[in-house]
A and B are shown apart, each in its own frame.
Chain A
């Protein structure tokens, strides 16, 4: 046989290198990442571990802001420093070693203190997609988070002390089109079949099929036919209750053929139809979450500064109110099921065609809006993707970190509620904040020199925070003692754990895929416990 010479092109080098992650966020996710620019303030072990897992997958650029000089302690827990880094600027040294990981990534190092930048060059932060900071004192946390809130730049504030760590994500709002839910609900429209779908259903008569074809018709058809038969005795109704669903199952049972000995012939497609009764008969509806989105004021009162997401939400509302007759565009996804190739492919094309037609209508509405507002246009792929995921759109309204420092506000009572439970993870949060406050007041970490002598001082900080949230003092000093034992130590494996998580969240923000943490994550490596709080 002649030596085979395949015509199809091989993958290019980049898609080979990124193959394992492209399977998660796709080419469009990758190109969003490659256009991203992330800023890190303070290249601690936590900071570099975060950047490591952002540089490897190929972010566009990173900027490190760090005025510190590399110390022996830094070198002992930070992989991106080497013996010769001692005495040199920590930011530029870590940047050099981080960039070795991926030559496609651009890098910059800024050796000015962040509070100086805030004062002299506040627009500096405008060019970043996300700003990440580690090891800030309380005053800088307040100033920087307020500034980034005003600039509308997403901000992730990270802490790692001893076995404890946390991160807090701040943004005004974050809209996700591709949430990648683990169990996506199927959109089959059995209760409201569109014309080409009903035509297809009507073209099949289960009782006249030969046995081979009988075993190969998709369960969707079987279920539809069973409901139609049920509706003869239940006109204008849809099977909702358990009893009614059991009646459907009985009808399906009657469809099953029997052999010459009177034994029913087991056919996988009919078994699948019976199993689907409980899930696939849910009537098609507009999810409340999506209704809230398309009728929110951001989707109604568009301006030329409105984001693509809100413009598409507005077009989607137009579709729902007119052509969609109260329903969202068809997703066009057919789940796998036992069927002959012909039936399956035909059915798949029916759903795909309808999805394309619906998306086309939404796209035309988007174009209308865009020309009215005279703003940037969107591609039809973008709109198609939006329609494909219209059932699972997700919007997170963010909150300002400053709210956590406000006595008597809603966040204060949220914190108090968790402390009273008592929720030990909230106790850890309080101690991490108390340690920030201690650093602002004493210019060192609690217990940095001597654990015992700092217990009383740290207790003072804890008391201040507890007073702000109207909580009584902790009955015991054990957590305060433990924080002083840590003495501000940064433990590599704890930072590496958080580093992986924070990098992940930053990638979610930049690619606009998957739901990020809303909005605070606390980790205790000693008890292997974690919690999410929404401040």
Chain B
């Protein structure tokens, strides 16, 4: 037995030889707090819990990268199942796996390939897991393609922050977030220390605005193939209901896509517009972002290096946002994204929304959707008046939407809102209800003084 153990530990020593050189030797550029020792690898292997969010193009790479950097206590969450179009980059999946859970397949493969790796899969939406789940991790690394999901996760990590009595941040409540994203030959990787450095919400303006087509162009003056597809998607489908009134358009259903393709071609023919292809139709319907193995590999690796630095303190993290462009040569640039003092998610101050006192609720709703500090999708607004909860507007539940939609047209003062009242706002972009204090613009004071 004893000799077996020695042999085993000798093998382990050799197997992790590469990483041990970085962790057990000191160097002139190490972080000042770094104390080389064998305990660091032990911590990485046996204590450090890392959550990988997403098991797609970036997630597969991250799981492999971290497992080969010594991490064993890995969790992977992804709600998706495997599709054929994933296989050009999501290298842990094979054709036989189509239809299975990405998270489970990825974890099974890596645990088998790398002995000792104890990755655990969660096949569910990130929103199904609660704060108790997220709190157990030392580091979260995120490879999502959805901005809304990213914002939700960011909000979750921010909600775990604790503040001391003097309003200073309790450092032990900080769970670092490493985030990667790619689009075609471009990508970015960043490190977020919640409450300390710029978070996802602080830098919403870095995401490109979504491309939309005006309805009148789609309906009356189409000129691009995309306009023809949008016409079928937005207007023709619900008019003709080809699969009956209860079947919505599903971009993943090849028959649906083929139907839209055909109708869009008919429309294009009528207007003399060329190039409505199946590929384009699918791209518009599913809002497909081009993706290739190499960009995902590079971005995930940059994220994994940062996770390794966070866990080992062997050198300082990137500060704090790297962009990578591989379309003309290979170019990277790292800059320090700045924390926004009034950020909805990560600042510990009361948010104030300034508004004309004679404005309608619609004005508040629009500000929450369009203002760069909020960019919400469908905010539900409630308040407390005289100790009672009052729902002002909520679109997510149909019966409430119908009861409250008239409020949008009413003036906020008619609804009982006053200068200094707190609005409680909920949205899919955040797991938390956000408190916003209304501040009436000064103009009313001048008016009243007259």
Contact = CB atoms under 8 A, between A and B. Distances in A.
A53 B326 CA distance: 14
B251 interface: no
Nearest to B334: A528
A391 to B, nearest CB: 16
A496 B304 contact: yes
B327 to A, nearest CB: 6
Contacts of B289: 20
A486 interface: yes
Given A24-B184, A500-B297, A518-B329, A1 B18 contact: no
Which of A9, A517, A528 has most chain B Cβ within 10 Å? A528
A184 interface: no
Interface string A282-306: 0000000000000000000000000
A345 B85 contact: no
A344 B113 contact: no
Nearest to A81: B113
Contact of A500 (B27, B224, B298, B331): B298
Contacts of A478: 28-29
Given A8-B265, A492-B65, A58 B258 contact: no
B278 A8 contact: yes
A361 interface: no
B249 interface: no
Given A23-B279, A491-B18, A528 B327 contact: no
A496 B301 contact: yes
B254 A10 contact: yes
Nearest to A532: B329
B85 A16 contact: yes
A485 B25 contact: yes
B223 A336 contact: yes
B29 A500 contact: no
A20 B84 contact: no
Interface string B289-319: 1111111111111101110100000010010
Nearest to A21: B292
A57 B272 CA distance: 35
B207 interface: no
A424 to B, nearest CB: 11
Nearest to B66: A493
Interface stretch (A71-79, A108-116, A136-144, A323-331): A71-79
Given A11-B278, A180-B327, A216-B221, A72 B259 contact: no
B89 interface: yes
A83 interface: yes
Interface stretch (B9-17, B47-55, B147-155, B403-411): B9-17
A6 B223 contact: no
A534 to B, nearest CB: 10
Nearest to B282: A19
A527 B19 CA distance: 18
Contacts of A345: 223, 271-273
A526 B308 CA distance: 11
A7 B89 contact: no
A56 B19 contact: no
B22 A486 contact: yes
Interface stretch (B123-131, B161-169, B238-246, B432-440): B238-246
A214 B241 CA distance: 37
Given A79-B113, A162-B22, A496-B297, A482 B224 contact: no
A56 B68 contact: no
A449 B332 CA distance: 34
Interface in B175-221: 184-185, 221
A478 B94 CA distance: 47
A346 to B, nearest CB: 8
B61 interface: yes
A163 B304 CA distance: 12
Contact of A20 (B88, B221, B278, B308): B88
B155 to A, nearest CB: 26
A101 B86 CA distance: 12
14 contacts: A20-B85, A21-B88, A21-B293, A53-B293, A56-B91, A163-B22, A163-B315, A339-B221, A478-B29, A489-B21, A491-B18, A496-B65, A500-B293, A514-B327
Given A52-B91, A58-B88, 18 more contacts: A4-B255, A23-B279, A76-B14, A78-B68, A340-B221, A341-B222, A481-B28, A485-B25, A489-B18, A490-B18, A493-B69, A501-B298, A504-B292, A504-B326, A515-B327, A528-B306, A528-B332, A530-B332
Interface of A: 1, 3-4, 6-11, 13, 15-24, 45, 49, 52-53, 56-58, 71-73, 75-79, 82-83, 100-102, 162-163, 179-182, 216, 336, 339-341, 344-345, 348-349, 447, 451, 478-479, 481-482, 485-487, 489-497, 499-501, 503-505, 507, 514-518, 521, 525-530, 532
* The 5 A-B residue pairs with the shortest CB-CB distance in the complex, in nearest-first order: A500-B297, A500-B298, A496-B301, A6-B258, A72-B14
